[in-house]
Amino acid sequence: MRVALVTCLDMPRPDADLPILVRAFAERGACAEIVPWEDAGVAWDAFDAVLVRSTWNYVGRYREFHAWIDRVAAATRLLNPRGALLWNLHKRYLAELAAAGIDVVPTEVVLHGVDPDWESLFARFGDLVVKPAVSAGSFATIRVRRGDVAAARAHRMAHLERDLLVQPLLASVVAHGETNLVHFGGRFSHAIHKGARWDGDAEQSRGVVQPEADELALATRVLAYVEAHGRGVHGWGGHGWDVHGWDGGALAYARVDMARGADGRPLLMELEIVEPSLFLDRAPAQASMLVDAVLGAAARG
């Protein structure tokens, strides 16, 4: 079995998951190779599975990355599947999940070229978090104090070509941080507690934690929705996006990021199924769960 662990040439920081995964695959008799997605010389059809990992520079090369996903999915087993990756690349999926009744941080999608009514957004949300709808890490994510229209508009003008998300700044994120629940093959693996992170900040993981029952329940509901739609149970929201389902089965990997709202309920902040850090350096034994998911998917052909 030959598996590609896909990264990028221009790494903003090291990917601590990669060496752990190489060892975990080797222990199962599989050869895992670290390969940058931009390398035009790679024969992707020579791999039994291609696992997207730290493709963290795709934000500035979105169309090229989209074409790469199409090309690899046509050549071999791409994980996560093409349809899931394309759906998840643009964070308007949060609005779809909210419409499905899932508890999501309130989100306003501001389309590119539009300067919204900031006063109205401040009145609705209070202090704001503003971020690109297509982003990785903390790219161009800022806090804006209530009423600071000048700061909000300056950020909008600096990223006028991008769709943006506008959300309320959760007090719990500032005071306590967020919880990231990692799943492999549809099963919970481990959770990490992180401090708030803004543009340019380093990762602020505080180590492995035991999630609360309501956090696990929210993650289960989110992933059940995605898997059902991937199998074509309800379609993909009717938005006309160029996405398709896959042949059943759970996602190979997913990270469900959440924090608590003012009423104490957990709220989905992001569902990461493209290129999330999986924090295997904090839980290296859990890499075997991802190996199982990848080898199982490859065996299904």
Name the class of domain 108-169: alpha beta
Whether 238 shows a pLDDT value over 60: the answer reads no
Q: Tens of pLDDT along 136-152? A: 767 778 899 999 999 99
Give the three-class secondary structure for 104. strand
Q: Is the bond into 80 cis (omega within 30 degrees of 0)?
A: yes
**What does the alpha-carbon distance between residue 111 and residue 161 come to, in Å, rounded to a whole number?**
9
| Paired tokens of 92 | 């308007």
| Average pLDDT along the chain | 89
94 token code pair: 């949060």
What type of residue sits at position 265?
A: R
Strand arrangement of the beta sheet that strand 108-110 belongs to = 108-110, 164-168, 128-132, 142-144
Q: How far apart are CA 100 and CA 268, in angstroms?
A: 13
Mean pLDDT computed over 217-221: 98
Q: What is the pLDDT of residue 137?
A: 66
pLDDT, mean of residues 250-258: 95
> Could you tell me which CATH class the domain 2-87+295-299 is placed in?
alpha beta
| Ranges 83-87, 160-164, 286-290, most confident | 286-290
Q: Return the sign of the alpha-carbon dihedral for residues 33, 37, 43, 47.
A: positive
Query: Comparing C-alpha atoms, which of 13, 9, 10, 8 is closest to residue 197?
Result: 13
* CA-based nearest residue to 70, from 37, 34, 93: 37
Provide the phi-psi class of 279: left if phi over 0, else alpha when psi is between -120 and 50, else beta: left
Q: Where exactly are the structural domains of the chain?
A: 2-87+295-299, 90-98+173-279, 108-169
218 CB-contact burial (10 Å; exposed 0-12 / middle 13-18 / buried 19+)? buried
Which pLDDT tens digit goes with each residue over 166-198? 999 999 988 888 999 999 999 999 999 987 655
What is the reported pLDDT for 239? 39
pLDDT above 60 (res 32):
yes
Q: Are strands 77-79 and 49-52 parallel, antiparallel or unpaired?
A: parallel
Measuring CA to CA, which residue among 211, 205, 210, 175 is closest to residue 193?
205
| CA 40 from centre of chain | 25
CATH topology of domain 90-98+173-279: D-amino Acid Aminotransferase; Chain A, domain 1 (3.30.470)
> Contact, 134 vs 91, CB < 8 A?
yes
pLDDT for the residue numbered 35: 98
Domains 90-98+173-279 and 108-169 share a fold: no
- Which residues are within 8 A (CB) of 30 and not within 5 positions of it... i.e. 6 or more apart? 1, 2, 3, 291, 295
